[in-house]
Structures are given as structure tokens and as C-alpha cells.
Amino acid sequence: MYMRVGVVWRRNRCRPPSMERQDLVMQLAPQSPYHSKVSVTDMHLHLNASFIDRQLWKSLSNNNALPSAVVTGVSYGGIGFYTALHLLLSGVNVHGVVRSDTQLRQVAHMMQVAVDRQCVLHKEWMGKIGRIMLHLCDLSDTAAVSRLADTILTDPNLRIVVCSAGPMCTPVGLSPQGLEEQFATHYVGHSLLLLRLLAHRRASNVPVRTLPPWRIVLLSSGTAATAAPNDFTTFHQWPDAAQAATFSSPFSGYNNAKMCELLFGLALSRVVRTERRLATCTVCMLHPGPTRSRALANSGLPLQKWLHGEAAALLCVSPVIAALFVVDLALSKRHEQANGHFFRMGEDQTVYHQKMIHHPETRKGFFRNSTLFPGIPGPEVALSIGNQNWLWRATIRYFVENKLIDASSLN
């Protein structure tokens, strides 16, 4: 995967921005060959504002209002942090979600430092930058997620939701509800947040013709290819972490969670397509490529000295750049109709895997089912409509049984 994605990035990073392709990001940094090291201290962002989808600015609560985004996992150094920063600089207010007070204070300080630096570089941005609103929430705790959703729903200008939070290959632990922690954070917390937000939109009394567009972006991973979720690896409630560790590992737990997130995103995209009040919503999944995990606050990957040393870094991307793929899906006009699409580092894989979803015979063979080649997490085990429906039903059942959502809001 590193070789495959590294080659994709090396090819794309030297490609000049194109007006014809409607490239949103015209320049990131003058030292693009050192893409794995770009940070807030040397990034030089230039966006082509004419390619931002201004439909996201329509039907705001007042003339001076800005659209809002929710970005989970904005701890400093991660993809979520830079996604929030890029959105702020694009004129979007951001609800950033962090897990601890320490992270909240660090993010508030570093975000202000980064914004001030960009304002020095771009005097024309003064007065046009969004504001950051930070929220404390443990996404593995369904009670905390419900409170977060209630807070977010007080914002009438919500337009974008980016699901990027979650630990990476950390030791096996349990959520407050007894679920495997990585699964609870990556999947349960995000799916509950999305369903609560969408249920509120469906229940609103705003005329359908004036409902604004929403864009939902879920971050996936190429390692999801190794997972095949089932009843036991999803909503099984464990008595203690030691017993869970006998059936799961830091790697399998992470891969399972990311596969569930991908399946849920594909299922949700089909739901919004058929719902009249959700028809202007889009749901896309993104594999941002191998990112230097040594820079990520939530990474528990071993061997980082070798995997993300100077040599391996040539085939990795900085979280700054990975975040640009997210922002492109969230803001670019060219993606306004992209619903249910899977992207790998900005490349739309949907055309490739569409036949695989509907025709099982096209999913046969090792290479077709390897994320190393097509860049798609395991279509043989994952991308069937049956698997999507199974996980969707299991998720709704869990939330309804635990009184986290109202079953009537889904009918």
C-alpha cells in the first residue's frame, strides 16, 4: 500500500493546478518535494475561491452568518486539526471535537498561531476567516455523543460533518458501554452523531425547497481490507478489557472499526438518496493515504522509527496534505453531486468498484480484492449491498434498544 499510494502522490504532487479540473487547492507549500514534513510553520495555503461550492452559503440564518462544520478529532498534529484549519481559512465556522482539557487548550493555542500566520501571508483574508468552537466529548461514550449532538443542533447553519476522530491501533480497551473502544470511537460515536443530526433535519419544519445542502465525509483506511465484521466483532458487550483482548488486538480492532465506518457510509449514502428531506445531503468516504503517524497524537503503531523515518517518509504524506483531500470533498464545487463515492487521496474509485458491488463475479481474484492495487478496502468481503444492509440494521437496532434514537424518526 505504501508503494502504491506513494507513487500516486508523487505523480499528483508535481501536477500543476488546473482550472479545467477545478482544482480547489492551487498551492500548499513552496517546498512540495518535502511533503511529509509540511506543518503549520511552513505551509503556504492558496485556495481558488471560485471553485468553492457557494450553495453551502445559501439559506444561512442572517446576512452576516457563515456556514458551520463539525470536525471530530481535532487534536493538534492530526488530520482533523488541519481539516479544521483549512475550513476556517475558507470562511467556515468549525465545531471542533476533542477528548480532553489538555487537548482543548493546546488546539486553541496552536489554531490561533496557525491562523495568525496565514493572515500575515494573506492580508486579503483578514475579517473573512471563520471561528473555532471547541467541544469536549469522548466519542466512545454514547451518552456524551448524545449531548454533543444536542449542542451542535443549536447551530442553524450546519453544512459539513467530517468524521476523523479515533485512536489508531491503541491497546484494547472498553467504552463506558462495554464495547471495544476503537470500534466504539470510530464507528458507534460517529454513526450516532450522524443519525441524530439527520433525524433532526428530517423533523424540521423548513420547506423542502429551502433545505441547504449538507456534506458528510468519513475517513476510512486501506487496512480495512483485512476486516470482515460480524455480530461478535461489532456490538458485543465485553465484561472486561482482558477478555476482549483475547479476541481482539490493536490492529484487528482498528481495521474492524474502519471497515464498519466504510460500510455505514455506503449504506447511509443510499438512505439519503431516497429520503426527500435528505436528498441534498451527500456522503463520501476517503482513504487519505499513508500519513506520518508519528505526528498523530492518537497513534499507537509500533516500529514508527522505521515505518515513518526519513526514507519511508518519501512515500507518506503529512497530515496537512491528507487534510486537503478532506477539504476538497467538503467544499469543492466539482463534488456537489458525489454521493456514496469512495476516494483514495483525491482519486474517485467509484467507477472502478461500482460493478463489484452489484456483480459478485467481478469480485473474484486476489488482485481485485487487494487494497494494494485498486485502493479499495476488500470488495469481496465489504462492498456488497448485503453487508451494508446487515450493519445498518444492527446499528439501528442497537441504538433503538438503548434509547439513543427514536425509531419513528427513521420512518
For 150-179, the DSSP string reads HHHTT-TTEEEEEE----BSPPP-B-TTSS
pLDDT at 372: 44
pLDDT at 33: 40
- Of 325, 341, 230, 348, the closest CA to residue 283 belongs to 341
Q: Is residue 61 part of a domain?
A: yes
- Of 141, 152, 226, the closest CA to residue 181 belongs to 141
| CA–CA gap between residue 256 and residue 305 (Å, rounded) | 25
Q: Is residue 207 part of a domain?
A: yes
Coil vs helix vs strand at 71: strand
Give me the residues of the chain with pLDDT under 50, please: 1-5, 26-27, 29-34, 371-375, 377-381
**Partners of 219 in beta bridges:** 286
Cell 452576516 belongs to residue: 64
| CA–CA gap between residue 36 and residue 305 (Å, rounded) | 14
Q: Is residue 67 part of a domain?
A: yes
CATH (domain of 132): 3.40.50.720
pLDDT at 51: 84
pLDDT at 30: 45
88 contacts 115 by C-beta, under 8 angstroms:
yes
pLDDT at 215: 98
**Which amino acid makes up residue 273?**
R
| Entry pTM | 0.87
pLDDT tens, position by position, 189-230: 999 999 999 999 999 888 888 899 999 999 988 777 778 888
Q: Is residue 410 part of a domain?
A: no
Q: How many CB atoms lie within 10 A of CB 187?
A: 31
Domain tally for the chain? 1
Q: Is residue 411 part of a domain?
A: no
pLDDT tens, position by position, 276-314: 999 999 999 998 877 765 555 556 666 556 655 666 666
Domain with 143 in it: 2-13+21-405
